[in-house]
Structure 1
């Protein structure tokens, strides 16, 4: 059982909190803890800094544009596994603000240079996380990228324990490919009308 802090209480953060709460000690960090407690009465909710303080694993589930401000509030997270769920989306979510030559994952590592940053869950839509919370058996793959092998393995196992297939793709620079994949998922779900309960699965053939 891990002590997990989730920074961000939007649809992604709230569903990740619900998903992991059955197996781990979860604390949700919110900019407005009282309001969030009323929506998530079964989850421990506090502010960002307090949530991160005692966690083994911190999950960053805020808009990419807020990363620098969050770093100033929660500190270095030295030696901790920091799961980066962010995507560098435009305001309408229909494009990326950066990509291919760098990534949000690498920017998060620059903001938290002493943390073990692992890109993961960024390709999983909020509606899919909600289905996972409800016990869905057919779930997409979680693709993981990071520069610390032990942290990558930890996140792969965390995803598998939650019912996903999961794969370590290698170095954090591979976030340059995972983030465009997330945008492709958004395009398929919303621009092409397939709905938010879809995802990518990586699996052997045969």
Structure 2
């Protein structure tokens, strides 16, 4: 599968490293040549030409940067868009959206002809690094979206990376997933538990 990842920070690079084991991955940023050199086997491209061939597009950049990126990327018609963002306040301890909407729904409004799925917003970059090292006890990827096939594709991508995954409902479920991401950030950083953590969903034995 051809996958473009918008954003070359720790999350973007972590996703690219894991996905490139089974898929054709392009890391899309404003500094394509520099970013591509960091990850052997991962292509690099600029916003102008980085998504034209992609079947799946990950947004791995801060939520507040998505609107600017959207102006450069076009409508992404027919593509599966994976939103991993959390709409955080400047101190990372609160959310700027909630109750009646979510970052996932706002991104879907920016790309009405794409299939937007919320996922990976509760997975930290250090956890992606541990997954790349072969860690077996990984958190659950929670998935929300309005297109059943798109959600199943994202579930398979999560599985390809070594994660368990649970489909959590329609895209409006992002209104719950994003506060969960905010709670995880508070536990990790404000309460001192560190970033090598995550939530796991499953039956109690």
Any unmatched runs of 5+ in structure 2? none
TM, length-normalised to structure 2: 0.97
Give the aligned partner of residue 194 of structure 1. 193
Cα separation, 1, equivalents of 2:41 and 2:2: 16
Corresponding residue SS for 1:196: coil
Cα separation, 1, equivalents of 2:48 and 2:138: 32
1:70-125 deviation per Cα after TM superposition (whole angstroms, max 9, x unaligned): 11111111111100011101122111111122100000000000000000001101
Give the aligned partner of residue 159 of structure 1. 158
Any unmatched runs of 5+ in structure 1? none
Tell whether the 8 Å contact from 1:67 to 1:111 is kept in structure 2 after alignment.
Answer: no
Cα separation, 1, equivalents of 2:78 and 2:188: 36
Corresponding residue SS for 1:128: helix
1:31-81 deviation per Cα after TM superposition (whole angstroms, max 9, x unaligned): 111221343344211112322110111101111111111111111111111
Cα separation, 2, equivalents of 1:8 and 1:48: 10
Cα separation, 2, equivalents of 1:92 and 1:50: 33
Give the aligned partner of residue 185 of structure 1. 184
The structure richer in helix per residue is 1
1:1-206 maps to which residues of 2 (within 5 A)? 2-206=1-205
TM, length-normalised to structure 1: 0.96
Cα separation, 1, equivalents of 2:35 and 2:157: 25
Matched residue pairs, number?
205
Tell whether the 8 Å contact from 2:19 to 2:160 is kept in structure 1 after alignment.
Answer: no
Tell whether the 8 Å contact from 2:24 to 2:42 is kept in structure 1 after alignment.
Answer: no
RMSD of aligned residue pairs (Cα, Å):
1.0
